[in-house]
Structure 1
C-alpha cells in the first residue's frame, strides 16, 4: 500500500514516564528460563550504546516482568551478577544488598522496574514509573547496569541483542533463553 510506513515494534514502543525525552529506544530483548518468559528488557539511550561506551553514557534499562518474583531474590541475584564483573568486599556487598532490597519490591506480571543510570553519579530506580530509590554510587551503578551490558554478563546473547544498532537486525525484539533468571 503506497504511503504506508511500517515501523519495527520497538520504534512504536511508548516511552515510560521515567525515561527522559532525550533518550530513545535502542533495543529490547527477552529473558527466558527453561522456556518460561521471565522479563522483557529495553535499553533507552541518547546516542548509540555499544560494547566500548555503555558505561560512559546516560541510559535507562527497563525490565517488564512476565511473572511474580520476590524483590529480595531479585536483589540477591543482582549481587551475584555484579560480582561476575569485580571483586566486591563483604561490607560493600551487604550495603548494596540492603539498598537493592529497599529498591526492589516483590513484582508480578506486568510490573516494571526501571533504572536511570548517570555515569559518575549513580542510578535512580523506578517501579511502575514511580520513584523508588536513588543510589548515589557510581561503582554500584556501573556494575548493576553491567549485569546486562558488561562483557562478563552471564547472558552474552542478551547483551549482544541490547548493544546492537536497531538497523543491525531484521528483528525488533531479541529473545534469549538463558540458564539464569536474574532480576
Structure 2
C-alpha cells in the first residue's frame, strides 16, 4: 500500500484517480490480453493487476518466461523472463523511482543494494512518465545475462548483470515483501 501511495500521491491525486476510474469504467478493456511476448520462445506464465486502494486500477501485469518456476526459481539466472506492465493511469517517472526504491529497501540490506546501485541508477535514469495505455516491459535474456527496459516497444536501456536482474525482478516476483503478494501469486500462476 505504501508503494501505491508513493506513486499516486496526496488527496488531489486520489480525487483525480477516482475521476479517471469513473471514465475508465466506460472504456474498453486493457488491451493486455492481445499483447504477445516481446521475446520469442517465452510462454505466458501468469497475469494480474495492481489497484490503488482496491478500487482504481494502476496497471495490468503479465509474466512470460522460458520455463515455469515457482517462488524464487523464476528469478534464476538461467530463466529468460519478461514482465509487461500496461498502465491504466498516467504516472510520473519520479513515482516509479520512489516506489521501486521503497520496495527494494524493504526487501534488501543496504549492502545488497549498494552492490548493484550503479545499475539501479542507470535504469531509473531511463524511466519516463507514462500515460494511460502505455506499456513498460522489463525483460531478462538468460543467454546474454542482460535486462532490458522498454516503453511501448522502444528500448530504453540494457543492463548486463545477473545480480541486478534478480534483485529488480524481485520487486514483483521475490518471496520477501514483493510489491503485492496477490500480484506475485497471479504472475507465478500459484492460484490456479
TM over 0.5: yes
Cα root mean square deviation, aligned: 2.5
Distance 1:80 1:54 in 2: 22
1:43 has 2:63 as partner: yes
Q: 1:33 aligns with which of 32, 52, 72?
A: 52
Match of 2:166 in 1: 142
Distance 2:104 2:140 in 1: 15
Distance 2:51 2:161 in 1: 30
Equivalent pairs, count: 156
Match of 1:163 in 2: 188
1:105 has 2:125 as partner: no
In structure 2, list runs of 5 or more residues that go unmatched.
Answer: 1-30
Structure with more of its chain in helix, by fraction: 2
Match of 2:11 in 1: none
Distance 2:158 2:167 in 1: 15
Q: For the structure 1 residues 159 and 97, does the alpha-carbon distance in structure 2 shift closer, same or farther, using more than 3 Å as the test?
A: same
Match of 1:176 in 2: none
Structure 1 position 154, deviation (Å): 3.7
Match of 1:15 in 2: 36
1:75 has 2:94 as partner: no
Match of 2:106 in 1: 84
Comparing 91-100 and 65-74, the one that deviates more: 91-100
Contact kept in structure 2, 1:78 and 1:147, CA below 8 Å:
yes
In structure 1, list runs of 5 or more residues that go unmatched.
Answer: 1-9, 170-183
| Greater relative contact order, per chain length (Cα 8 Å cut-off, separation 6+) | 1
Match of 1:123 in 2: 147
**Which aligned runs of 4 or more in structure 1 are off by greater than 6 angstroms?**
none
